[in-house]
Amino acid sequence: MPWLVMGALLGLALLSAVLTWAARGYALRQQLMDQPGERRSHSVATPRGGGIAIVISLLVTAAVAIWAWPESTPTVLVASLGLVLVAGIGWWDDHKPLPAMRRLLVHFIAATLLAGLVKVNGGSWLLAALVLLFTASLINIWNFMDGINGIAASQAVVAMLGLAPVLPWPYSLAAVALGLACLGFLPFNFPRARIFMGDVGSGALGYAVAAVLALASVRTDINWILLLVPVSPFLVDAGFTLLARIISGQRWMEPHTQHVYQRAVQAGASHPQVTGMYFALGLFSITVFNVCSNLQPRWEAAVAIAWFTALSVLWLLLRNGMRYRQGNT
């Protein structure tokens, strides 16, 4: 049985890779290309939409889960519906740009489905509300942060590395499957991007990460604040950048290059260097998470708050330092 599970999981990574290759061919035929520009971090036209491979791989995983654990059928179907909604609106947007409010409406519908699952599976109304808020946020955060080669998929991989050990069997397979689906996509996106994830992938990936976090919130006793630590590099960079844009009166939904990872590229760092820096920070984050996941709830919350405070200070130092460097070049 263990060998069968391992073989199936490796097959999932291979499936994701084959589907990414197929998605690249489709994008080239349909001329679905991201063009370089002032608000983008790439210099050559690149196909987009490769994230559909991750979505299909996860849906295949869901079908296998229903076959293996029939009692999970209602939960898996509802979660899969949310994934299809987010991926579907992203796929549409990749082919024909849509108004931001239309995309947000679909994101909140999907987030509501996930929040409902949390409530039905024993979560409190407060926890369900938090899942709703953070799911809608993570869908868009993964979209905002998918701006250089490999960063979105690699951060999902490292977050799943942190979450898989704390989830009981067989729920841990959800984290493992998501990580492997991303690994199948990564060779086509890092270190050189032969295809981008596209909105179909980035939004769906944010939803999938949120789904695993929601699963952990009802299947473990870990404080919900500590559960956010594995995704803290993205939360801090996207959250503070968004806040800074709102305070300065900018249109926060428009494309820009103000995230720390984008400023690092502008300052002269390569895509692999910046993605590697975020990956290392992610590894440090999940180490803190796993070491502290068996503390009393109040201490888990204290550690999480301290960690987010430290990352916030780091974000300010990096942002101001790179702004100063750019101003003197």
| Binding-site residues for Mg(2+) | 143, 199
Cβ atoms of 143 and 206 within 8 Å: the answer is yes
39: CB partners within 8 A, 6+ apart: 254, 255, 256, 257
Here the tokens at position 259 are 């995230």
Q: Are 139 and 111 in contact (CB under 8 A)?
A: yes
- Which tokens hold the place of 48? 């987009």
Close Cβ partners of 134 (under 8 Å, ≥ 6 residues apart): 210, 213, 228
| Collapsed DSSP state (helix, strand, coil) of residue 34 | strand
Distance of CA 223 to the CA centre of its chain: 20
- The CA-atom distances, in angstroms, between 93 and each of 4, 114, 121, 147, 200 are 38, 22, 33, 16, 8
- What single DSSP character describes residue 109? H
Backbone region of residue 268 per phi and psi (left: phi > 0; alpha: psi in -120 to 50; beta: other values): left
Q: Is residue 162 within 8 Å of 289, Cβ to Cβ?
A: yes
Within a 13 Å sphere around the CA of 230, how many CA atoms are in the beta-carbon half? 29
> In Å, how far are 68, 155, 166, 180, 235 from 283, measured between CA atoms?
32, 9, 15, 17, 15
CA dihedral 208, 210, 211, 217 (to 10 degrees): 160
CA distance 263 to 4: 45
- What does the alpha-carbon distance between residue 227 and residue 162 come to, in Å, rounded to a whole number? 10
Closest CA to 36 of 251, 265, 239: 265
